[in-house]
Amino acid sequence: MSLLSGCILSFRSTPSISNDINDVSVLPAADLNQSFVDSHQFKCHINDVSPTLSGNKSYMQSIKLVSQITLLNRPFPGSKVATVIPCQYPIQITKIESPSSLSSHESAIVTVHFQNLSTRPYGMCSESAGSIAFHYSSHSLIHLTLIDKETSVPNFYQLNDSIAPKSTSSIRFKLVLDANAIHHVYEDLSWNIDLLLRDRAIERRECQIRVLPSFLPNLHTDVLLITNSDLNQTEYLAYQQLFNLFKYSSQIRDVDRYGNLDHSRMKCLNTADLISFICLPPELTFNAIRSRLFVEHMYSSKKAGFICIGGRESKEFDFALFDYNHSQIHDHRWSAFGIRRPDRDELFELGNQIRLDFEKQDDYQHLYQFIYEETNNSSSTRFLWK
């Protein structure tokens, strides 16, 4: 049918968009299949929101703008056409460069990058569309101080210059881990930074620093424990108690921090007689040990050896028995080699035998208990000695 003269084109307000009720366009008459462009420009206002300061990401919301044509207050159903508009704040944090782990007494530089997405400048200038500031907080064992920035308010920084349209900028912190962090090894300590636009927090980034022991490549110990992020503090303390019981000197090397075992600047082979891997996936343990390095360690002393704690497949040990690159079989000096998963009865029998052998010792003075732990993790069936 033909479009009658006097039809009203408008955009209705929604919880996301506000429009002036009088901001309408009166359409002319139109014949069948006739097309035309309405020259009226509508002005819509995106309503303010209260962003949720979590999720470690910038605010982003998709909102709909829907047209409507009415005649005598009766809407035409076919006139409701929607367009989706991405809604975001003009200033965003784009990246944070921060170490994932540190040892007590250590420090690192943290860089926070932020971007101006709009076509207007922000910060402290005559044409500024708003002020920019940062508020940061941290665990009591983490000390954050600004670098090359002056601020009279603790844990607060106001951007005193401006950030141009479509450009990026950054601020830097010095992060220091307190000496008392040594009591929180294998724990994650958190620190946060909030981005404020016009004195209002619009974005929060939550970061964590894992406390790890330092590895000293020049120190030789009885045992070297190879770990990764799966190890927790309870397990770490259990291993320390076990080493103390046997009067073994030890140190720890975490692959998430120091890299694979053949890292050129932090080699760990031959720094201990016994190298023990704790529940590491194959790509971080056996596949990371070159056959040549394995042989080098095994021949470094008569007491040299490896212990791998956690579920393993026997084929993962192939590299230790055969050098595929040089087509030769390794002749190691060991009394036994194998991998299996004993059942519950075998574990109890083994525990009792160890207990009886231990009680036969002349200097037997310890109270102890063997515990068989069977967790939900199928690869985590093991003995704990307390």
Inter-residue contact 306 to 279 (CB < 8 Å):
no
Nearby residues of 35 by Cβ (< 8 Å), 6 or more positions away: none
DSSP 26-82: EPPPB-TT------PPP-EEEPP------SSS--EEEEEEEEEEEETTEE-GGG--E
What pTM, to 2 d.p., does this model score?
0.73
Nearby residues of 134 by Cβ (< 8 Å), 6 or more positions away: 112, 156, 157, 159, 171, 193, 194, 195, 196
- Greater confidence (298 vs 192) lies with 192
d(CA 231, CA 52): 32
pLDDT at 380 over 50: no
Q: Which residues pair with 88 in a beta bridge?
A: 60
Mean of the per-residue pLDDT values for the chain?
81
pLDDT at 320 over 60: no
Predicted confidence at residue 296, as pLDDT, reads 75
- Greater confidence (296 vs 321) lies with 296
Predicted confidence at residue 340, as pLDDT, reads 53
d(CA 355, CA 372): 13
pLDDT at 103 over 60: yes
Q: Which range, 40-54, 61-75, 108-122, 363-377, has the best average confidence (pLDDT)?
A: 108-122
Predicted confidence at residue 193, as pLDDT, reads 95
State the Rg of the chain over Cα: 33
- Greater confidence (181 vs 385) lies with 181
Q: Which range, 151-155, 180-184, 276-280, 283-287, has the best average confidence (pLDDT)?
A: 180-184
What's the mean pLDDT in 101-125? Answer: 94
d(CA 104, CA 378): 34
Tally of CB atoms within 10 A around 208: 14
Lowest mean pLDDT across 130-134, 140-144, 379-383: 379-383
Nearby residues of 321 by Cβ (< 8 Å), 6 or more positions away: 329, 330, 337
For residue 333, the 8-state DSSP code is: -
Which pLDDT band holds residue 146 (cuts at 50, 70, 90)? very high
What's the mean pLDDT in 139-149? Answer: 92
Inter-residue contact 191 to 142 (CB < 8 Å):
yes
Domains of the chain: 8-88 (no CATH), 92-211 (2.60.40.10), 221-340 (3.40.50), 342-386 (no CATH)
